[in-house]
Structure 1
Amino acid sequence: MEAVAEGLWRLADYHEKKGELGKAIKCLEAICQSSVSFFPVVEVKTRLRIATLLLTHSHNVNHAKSHLERSQLLLKSIPSCFELKCRAYSLLSQCYHLVGAIPPQKQILYKGLDLTNSAGHELSVKLWSCNFNSQLANALIIEGDYQNSIAALESGYIFSVEICYPELQVEELVKLGITDGMREVSLQHSAIWMAGVYLMLLMQLLENKVAIELTRSEFVEAQEALVQMKNWFVRFPTILQACESMIEMLRGQYSHYVGCYHEATFHYIEAAKLSESKSIQAMCRVYAAVSYICIGDAESSTQVTPFLITAFIYEMKYTCVYVCLFFFFFSFGLLKEMKYKKEECLKGNKKNYNKKMLLKKENYMKNMPIIFK
């Protein structure tokens, strides 16, 4: 039956490359629905692949969640398979996050951290620890638990610092044949799946590094991490396709931090175009609206309200009520700020207003990557 599974995996690869995602998923689900049982590891890998396709290319979160929950049950009977278990925890956490189920998301992330804490000190363990701490910080922020969120970020940062040594970054990728100049077209088929796992984790690490360095105003370090992300994407565009929108969003944040607001709006709009997630599209539009406000001219000001309205519609339709309420009050605050700016300018107090707003924006923008990540 291993040969049958391998054949269906290859057929799914073929359909995915042609953009026929429905056919690809049917090939994979044929393994899960077979009357003849496959080995549990084969079924787990297949279900994780299905969930990844659904989360990347559709809004069918519940379908992906059901496959991941089934994978969890299967993995309980398997004593090893560290990578598969971590992958399942991470994807299931994303599902819970998308449906606004924060308590079960935190529970699954704590299980992931318990697993990594007992798994040694290898590179992959540290990478997964960074991943779980990053997602946990986001979940805690939504609940307003900022103290523990910062603690989670600090824990992830400790691991990221340890991994930043060049000899560690390449201990697992070299084993898979990923060396300097290697591109995805040259990878062996058997190495593609695991290469994707490690590359996605490295991109998560670099994403965290950009966010942390920007909050510290370390722009050179943030720029270097962005360049690394872009270089990895150029070399592995298919494997890292899901990261393209995030790269553009981070470029927008970098541009905003260094005061290049026109460039920031361009990158945010591009990020929204590249993402199929309505939530990310809404977030990008909010970012763009903030940059338009910072530009401050009449033409840019006219762009703010349409961006906020379309973003709010997406949030209303595709996310939980708590996110919608938060987004509503945030949007209301931005529009109120614009009204206040206009009134102050009409009163002739533009100079005093600009000083006040500069201080407010400096304090607020420092926390933007954490708040809106």
Structure 2
Amino acid sequence: MYKDIFLRICKVYVKQYMDFAFIFDFDWEEQKRIWESDKIINVKIRDTENVLKRIFTKWSLWLWESYCEWKIEVDDDEYREFIFIFVRITYNKKLLWKLRLLDIFRVLRAIYGRKYFSYWSQEADINSHYSLRNWFDNNDDSNEFYLMWLNAKYIQYSCWKWDRWTRRLEEAQENKLNFYAKRLWIFKRSEWKTLLDLGCGWWWLIFYMAEKYSIKCTGLTLSVAQAKYINEEIDRRWLRDLVNVEIRNIHNIQWKYDYITSVGVMEHITDYDDLYKKVSKSLKENWKTLIHSMFQETKKLIDADPFLLKYIFPGAGIPQLKHNLEVFRKYFKYVDNNELPDKSYPKTLQCWFDNFCKNEKSIRRLLEEKSKVTDVDYAIRVYKHYL
């Protein structure tokens, strides 16, 4: 029953997205080829009926968990094309409406029947992911895990800016940093101005602004591991007179600054009104703030995939654009909404995924020797799916 539903969805899918053919191997017994193309995605599904029943009950969460349990096997470089079947049937309504009526009902029931997972506090959310407290006792090990696939001169755990002419990831990183500087009107004459970065990550933005423009920077983070890495980098880069990091909640802003930035933080908070109000009061007169976030346009104030909430970003979610702009305009007269080029995030994720796969042996060794992870294969596939 569920295998038949799945195959009907695939047949509809390939008529609209015709680049690839799919060969499905069900339980070592049956093979089904969908579409004709020189580019073939081979997918092995074990315990087929139960796996597909799980998927059509709880959709994305159990799809990804089946992959992590090795019940779905696809080559690393082909996995993305396989999961696009489910992603596009979820978000492309024109594709969804081409299914049989009963299949539409089953898909929608699975999508809207998803469960969500969250921690009770922002501190738990941040340290769960950015310090990997459930995996490592040592902050250096946590940082090493991330730097194996984020490694760059300026460590960015945020999408880069891929312009039409951009070819290399280093160029995309530089594009984004230059873009932010221009958006904030930061130039060579900006030296010794002050900048506060809310949720500073591994401090890519602040190191760049300090090294290139001699701006005096302060960063706030709740991640103990990130703070340790930043302090070591401050000394290594000889930036102690320009850069300072504090483990403090971003709602607790204590001084006034020329610039205030926030990149990838709005996904981790819910009280936007309080934050925007405090940012507006903490800016010096006629100076600028830059808020970068993923936004969504559904009716929900916060939305997120259950798999990401359970395994990657507990307590997080993607805020609604319209609601955020309404709150933002209460405190700022001039709002310039500007998006990064199309596909910047997918291209960034692809680079991270490639780095992760390239360093998989080292990552596996780190998890086996220094982590509390009991099922290393499962953990690695969690991050492969996420990326």
Which TM-score tier does this pair reach, normalised by the shorter chain?
under 0.3
The two structures have a TM-score, normalised by structure 1, of 0.25
Structure in which a larger fraction of residues adopt strand? 2
